[in-house]
Amino acid sequence: MALQSLEQARTIDRPSREAMLQRAPSVQQFWDQYTALFEQAWAEWETETGRSDVLGSDLYDPKLRAAVEQAWDDPTKEGAVKDLWKEVFPGVYETQFFDPEKLSVLRDYMAAVADADIPVRPPYGISLNRGGAMLDKRSEGYLAAPNFQAFYQSLMDAYMRPISRLLFPDTFGYDTQTFGFSIRWQADADTSLRAHTDASAVTLNLNLNLPGEEFSGSGVRFFDHATRRIEELTFAPGTALIHHGSVPHESMPIKSGERSNFVLWLYGDHGQVPRQGGPVADIDPQTRWSIPNAKSDRFAPF
């Protein structure tokens, strides 16, 4: 009898991590050959492990969830969403995004993903990110579990995109495409990510560390061109930082413990991002709280 997709996925010889990070041609061929198999394997894994419906809207901070749901019902009340975000550095905003008391559900899910033994692709270019995975279906080797994908897409469509438009009006029209990856950094294994900008219109950085799950170091240092101000920010369990991708930032060395994050991007078709100082579209709340009908262009930044 033929092996089921999950069993097949677990027995396939896979490229080394080094080959994947070096983007060897054989690695691309590997993902192209087995994409459909891995997608089916993730579906079987979710069913087998009872994780087909564990990720829901109750993971979000209750205040944020209530404000966002209200804005979708009546976009003219979007101000309640904006009021929850505090500017903690020029062009960088912070809020409580996930409910810290419920965050363990998501973390347990991601821990089970890491133990599933289904091949996933690490984020290219972030070699120190030993526990990371691609989250968006535009990326080969992505986390294709159906429940996770439904949760991820809702996060991007219902939360990240309208909030980005609300805080950064120039991103409207440069938010049709989604991209995301996870991070798991460990002391003594991972060091830092040097100063850089993102190839995104907007970046959302979500801290998935649990209450009491302490780590030291690994703050995010931001740089402001206009004032030359430099500040290192840390954020509590379940909180989020959001900023233009053009804001320079740097992840500092982790000294003890582990740090877990989702990093999510929005940008326009084929990687377009707004020009600094460029025109800003004058849109009404109803338009802001809408989902574009653009299809995925299949372009992946890395």
Cα–Cα distance for residue pair 108/299, rounded to 1 Å: 30
User: How many C-beta atoms surround the C-beta of residue 277 within 10 A?
Assistant: 7
Q: What dihedral angle (degrees, nearest 10) is formed by the CA atoms of 96, 158, 121, 143?
A: 100
User: How many C-beta atoms surround the C-beta of residue 105 within 10 A?
Assistant: 17
User: How many C-beta atoms surround the C-beta of residue 212 within 10 A?
Assistant: 7
Evaluated on CA atoms 294, 76, 71, 266, the torsion sign reads positive
Q: Specify the amino acid at residue 151.
A: F
Cα–Cα distance for residue pair 102/210, rounded to 1 Å: 9
Tell me what pLDDT residue 17 has. 77
Residue whose C-alpha is closest to residue 32's, from 298, 236, 295: 298
Tell me what pLDDT residue 113 has. 95
pTM, to two decimals: 0.93
CATH of 51-288, one of 1.10.645.10, 2.60.120.620, 3.90.1650.10, 3.20.20.70: 2.60.120.620
**Cβ-proximal residues to 50 (8 Å cutoff; 6+ apart), any chain:** none
Structure tokens at 160: 């990240």
Evaluated on CA atoms 45, 49, 54, 55, the torsion sign reads negative
Per-residue pLDDT of the chain (302 residues; tens, 9 = 90+): 345 999 999 999 999 877 887 888 999 999 999 999 999 999 999 999 999 999 999 999 999 999 999 999 999 999 999 999 999 999 999 999 999 999 999 999 999 999 999 999 888 765 445 568 999 999 999 999 999 999 999 999 999 999 999 999 999 999 999 999 998 766 555 455 677 899 999 999 999 999 988 765 557 899 988 888 999 888 899 999 999 999 998 886 776 677 789 999 999 999 999 998 888 989 999 999 999 999 999 888 88
Tell me what pLDDT residue 188 has. 57
